[in-house]
Structure 1
Amino acid sequence: MTTGSIGTPQQLRDPNYTPALSQAIPLGIQHVLAMFVSNVTPAIIVAGAAGFGFGSDAGAMGFPDMTYMIQMSMLFAGVATLLQTITLGPVGAALPIVQGTSFAFLPIMIPLVAGKGVDALGALYGGVIIGGLFHALLGTFIGKIRFALPPLVTGLVVMMIGLMLVKVGIQYAAGGVPAKMSGAPEYGSLLNWSAALVVIIVTLGLKFFARGMLAISAVLVGLGVGYLYALMMGMVTVQGISDNWRFAKSFALPEFFKYGFELSAAAVIGFCLMAFVSAVETVGDVSGITKGGAGREATDNEITGATYADGVGTAIAGFFGGMPNTSFSQNVGLIAMTGVMSRHVVTIGAIFLIICGLIPKIGAIIRTIPIEVLGGGVIVMFGMVVAAGISMLSDVAWNRRNMVIFAISLSIGLGLQLEPGAVQHLPDTLRILMTSGLLPAALLAMVLNLVLPQELADESIDEVSGGHAGHGEGSLPHD
């Protein structure tokens, strides 16, 4: 979507400018389309890991809980976005920042709920609430800790998030973890993979060859085409869709402490540590919005307010069964593309999300998406997360010191995630944290970056690179 006659260049760079409703509403919905799939996917993954049902014919098992979690993801993404755009005292940046459920927390959430059903959700949401409050606290000094999180650390963490999750995408495309565990013969079948491949092909085709809103909402359109393919192939039944629609309410308010509140050391520590990563991501997104939309650096008040909104939005969501929130990077790129800096445009998108979150029938329809179709979408999304991390790492000077930090952190973090039995004798809390893979990698990278002497940066890297010299800022060693 182009700016056309939306306003003058000066108006478009002003966060307080409001375009005419005929233009502001489509622009606001465009922001929702850009983030919609990424926003609801973590809730579906967590619900699936807990053992709730997938697809239109999954029966009543977990139906209300999965639908409710999808509903809360939409509702509180909208609420957190309003905190950013409208603000509440010091909370919020008064910028067009779109909030949504963060993939970054999935490596923490999945082990907490895996196979444990609804009984594990109390501890999960206890972690979300405490982690959200800690995240808000980070707003008071976020600017002072940025030195500990250079691109070497943040790029590694983002890349690790994607690497931790690509397995989930492959399992979904093949038929899902329950099918794998039960030894179902259809797991990994050509039919299952064909549904996932349809989504991938349509998504990539639109990303590369379409323009405007079609390109921006490529994953959403890809899932829609995949859904129609699954319907034609008998993977979804009209009766199943009808039952899901009929079973869901037309309107429902969120329930306070729906899943209770339980303090789990693993959940609290995990969410608080990941809050650092999310806070730094938000700082980067705020800077990207002000540079791309207004051609200036973000102010300290904007960064502080955005971090407050991240944490407060997450904590509020936790009280009602919502997922942790963070700023969405894809919407930062959308602002740069449209050139519209208006926070009120994003407010319209937030209101649309809140309306969707109050209508459980929308969550019920989303739940009917076959897991194989969803797998095609998340393969693309998680692969893009890995690519984003690699892009951040391109800003690193690949000298001996940085290669050692990267190598050790990646090896131990990824290794423990791939072989969790290696730490089976640790206490439960520590074992969950270590086998997440992400936390040991992030902590090692931060600590090593702080303690290893900078003098190592000037030394030869032949010893650690097998004789291939580094090539300076922004490049990787190559043959």
Structure 2
Amino acid sequence: MADASIGTPEQLRDPNYMPPLATAVPLGIQHVLAMFVSNVTPAIIISGAAGFGFGSDAGAQGFPDMTYLIQMSMLFAGIATLFQTIGLGPVGARLPIVQGTSFAFIPVMIPLVAGKGVEALPALFGGVLIGGLFHAALGLVIGKIRFALPPLVTGLVVTMIGLALVKVGIQYAAGGVPAIDTPEYGSLLNWSAALVVILVTLALKFFARGMLSVSAVVFGILAGYLYALVVGMVTMDGIAASWSRAGAFAVPVPFKYGIEISAAAVIGFCLMAVISAIETVGDVSGITKGGAGREATDREIRGATYADGIGSGVAGVFGGLPNTSFSQNVGLIAITGVMSRHVVTIGALFLILCGLVPKVGAVIRTIPIEVLGGGVIVMFGMVVAAGISMLSDVTWNRRNMVIFAVALSVGLGLQLDPKAVQYLPDTARILMTSGLLPAAVIAIVLNLVLPSELADEATEEVSGGMAGKRDA
């Protein structure tokens, strides 16, 4: 509940209202804390998948590259947020929308970079750039394509994103992918650090209030970090070394890794941009309903979509990953009752400041992979739960069950056994083994072509008799 002393109810529902700075600054930082871990996690995952992240043989040599990716995640989350809150012509909803690095693209990015080191980054950032421009163009038609993405499709896609990532969380908690073949992998010490994070996160989420509850994952990881210091998983010398190796201030470098146009990257990012755009529409609607008690306008939805895409495209030029609106911050607005876009602008400025200071990224890099694993287990599990929540709005008739069954079976199956399509050309193989894209395409196509009359038929054939039979 909002404190009436910071403004009248009408003012608190007004995006243009500026609360007193003594209130606005803490609220802005609270928005950053709520999304901070989620925002930098994709950069850490992609670094590890490419082979220059935590614990990899190239880890020491890759220190500057991983730190840079983390730095860009913070910087361009802040810049993209400013696109939303301040706006630039038609770009931006001018609402308190927090942008951050998207989880949705991770299943597409991992096959693109897997084991290829920094050599894979030009194609990756080429995909981010082109996909971002395509995403921005969707603002022109976003209202017209929503019919093709009902909860059956969007719920399936979000669930698949989570399912593609939960394996990463478990591997991190056990010691990280490079350690799989070592005796330390899966040790009690590794799991104890992850469990500290999970337990503290759950305790704060359900038994604390205010900032502690909203930022439970952040404080859970801090608790895990302290535990890791106590048990020797990380040392003060190691932290000091990372701190000293990183510069005090650095500006982003355009085309630092170069740009390469890869068909697999461009197709993958453009297809996922459609899903990300629909997610943003939902977040904009959630903000206006939860914060102002009204529906989002067409201009706000178009502006938010433009900002989504342009924020991602600009990030790709400087070595950042694609951005999207962050749903956890939508919930935070409903909790605080403060609709001010200027509060989120303050948070964006704080993110930009962090992104210009490489030492922040260097310290984040010292978090043991097992500690991060505890946090991402919670986060990725919540992605799955969000998808299932969306699927609860689906009418589970025979038609929808068949669509879901086929899309899930093919998508999840290809994730579990990538070698099943090893003889496909490289572009097709990368797109198929993401699992997410084939599942999304199958669900969208079947939903459009299967006759709606099937929805009236019985479900016994696909439900194992559990649905019961209708009267003749």
> TM-score scaled to structure 2, two decimals?
0.98
Equivalent runs, 1:77-96 vs 2, <5 Å: 77-96=77-96
SS of residue paired to 1:395: coil
> Following the alignment from structure 1 to structure 2, what is the Cα–Cα distance between the partners of residues 300 and 123?
34
Aligned match for 1:259, one of 249, 257, 260: 257
Alpha carbons of structure 1 residues 58 and 207: separation in structure 2 relative to 1, 3 Å: farther
Alpha carbons of structure 1 residues 31 and 55: separation in structure 2 relative to 1, 3 Å: farther
Is 1:390 matched up with 2:388?
A: yes
| Equivalent position of 1:476 in the other structure | none
Q: Deviations over 1:443-465 (max 9, x none)?
A: 00000000000001111111111
> Following the alignment from structure 1 to structure 2, what is the Cα–Cα distance between the partners of residues 59 and 377?
21
Alpha carbons of structure 1 residues 214 and 377: separation in structure 2 relative to 1, 3 Å: same
Equivalent pair of 1:155/1:391 in contact (CA under 8 Å): yes
SS of residue paired to 1:326: strand
SS of residue paired to 2:105: helix
| Equivalent position of 1:475 in the other structure | none
| Equivalent position of 2:326 in the other structure | 328
Q: Deviations over 1:232-272 (max 9, x none)?
A: 11110111111000000000000000010001110000000
Is 1:197 matched up with 2:225?
A: no
Q: Shift of the alpha carbon at 1:54?
A: 2.1
Equivalent pair of 2:105/2:272 in contact (CA under 8 Å): yes
AA aligned opposite 1:224: L
| Equivalent position of 1:367 in the other structure | 365
| Equivalent position of 2:290 in the other structure | 292
Equivalent runs, 1:7-406 vs 2, <5 Å: 7-54=7-54, 60-180=60-180, 183-406=181-404
Aligned residues: 469
SS of residue paired to 1:184: coil
Alpha carbons of structure 1 residues 53 and 409: separation in structure 2 relative to 1, 3 Å: closer
Alpha carbons of structure 1 residues 200 and 330: separation in structure 2 relative to 1, 3 Å: same
Q: Deviations over 1:296-354 (max 9, x none)?
A: 00000000000000000000000000010000000000001111110000000000000
AA aligned opposite 2:454: L
AA aligned opposite 2:329: N
> Following the alignment from structure 1 to structure 2, what is the Cα–Cα distance between the partners of residues 430 and 128?
18
> Following the alignment from structure 2 to structure 1, what is the Cα–Cα distance between the partners of residues 448 and 6?
48
Q: Shift of the alpha carbon at 1:60?
A: 2.6
Q: Shift of the alpha carbon at 1:194?
A: 0.6
Q: Shift of the alpha carbon at 1:470?
A: 8.0
Alpha carbons of structure 1 residues 277 and 137: separation in structure 2 relative to 1, 3 Å: same
> Following the alignment from structure 2 to structure 1, what is the Cα–Cα distance between the partners of residues 50 and 425?
22
Equivalent pair of 1:55/1:368 in contact (CA under 8 Å): no
Equivalent pair of 2:152/2:400 in contact (CA under 8 Å): yes
Q: Shift of the alpha carbon at 1:221?
A: 0.3
Equivalent pair of 1:93/1:303 in contact (CA under 8 Å): yes
Alpha carbons of structure 1 residues 420 and 56: separation in structure 2 relative to 1, 3 Å: closer
AA aligned opposite 1:193: W
Q: Deviations over 1:24-61 (max 9, x none)?
A: 00110010000000000000000111111327999632
> Following the alignment from structure 1 to structure 2, what is the Cα–Cα distance between the partners of residues 2 and 336?
9
AA aligned opposite 1:200: I
Structure 1's unaligned 5+ residue stretches are 472-479
Q: CA RMSD in A?
A: 1.4
> Following the alignment from structure 1 to structure 2, what is the Cα–Cα distance between the partners of residues 240 and 55?
14
AA aligned opposite 1:27: L
> Following the alignment from structure 2 to structure 1, what is the Cα–Cα distance between the partners of residues 57 and 368?
9
SS of residue paired to 1:284: helix
Alpha carbons of structure 1 residues 17 and 222: separation in structure 2 relative to 1, 3 Å: same
> Following the alignment from structure 1 to structure 2, what is the Cα–Cα distance between the partners of residues 311 and 59?
32
AA aligned opposite 1:419: D
> TM-score scaled to structure 1, two decimals?
0.96
AA aligned opposite 2:73: S
| Equivalent position of 1:438 in the other structure | 436
> Following the alignment from structure 1 to structure 2, what is the Cα–Cα distance between the partners of residues 425 and 360?
42
Q: Shift of the alpha carbon at 1:184?
A: 1.0
Equivalent pair of 1:54/1:369 in contact (CA under 8 Å): no
AA aligned opposite 2:335: M
AA aligned opposite 1:71: Q
> Following the alignment from structure 1 to structure 2, what is the Cα–Cα distance between the partners of residues 301 and 115?
43
Alpha carbons of structure 1 residues 204 and 57: separation in structure 2 relative to 1, 3 Å: farther
> Following the alignment from structure 1 to structure 2, what is the Cα–Cα distance between the partners of residues 270 and 406?
21
SS of residue paired to 1:236: coil
> Following the alignment from structure 1 to structure 2, what is the Cα–Cα distance between the partners of residues 138 and 58?
39
Q: Shift of the alpha carbon at 1:208?
A: 0.8
> Following the alignment from structure 2 to structure 1, what is the Cα–Cα distance between the partners of residues 319 and 217?
26
Aligned match for 1:448, one of 426, 446, 449: 446
Alpha carbons of structure 1 residues 32 and 412: separation in structure 2 relative to 1, 3 Å: same
Alpha carbons of structure 1 residues 439 and 59: separation in structure 2 relative to 1, 3 Å: closer
> Following the alignment from structure 2 to structure 1, what is the Cα–Cα distance between the partners of residues 332 and 58?
36
> Following the alignment from structure 2 to structure 1, what is the Cα–Cα distance between the partners of residues 247 and 363?
12
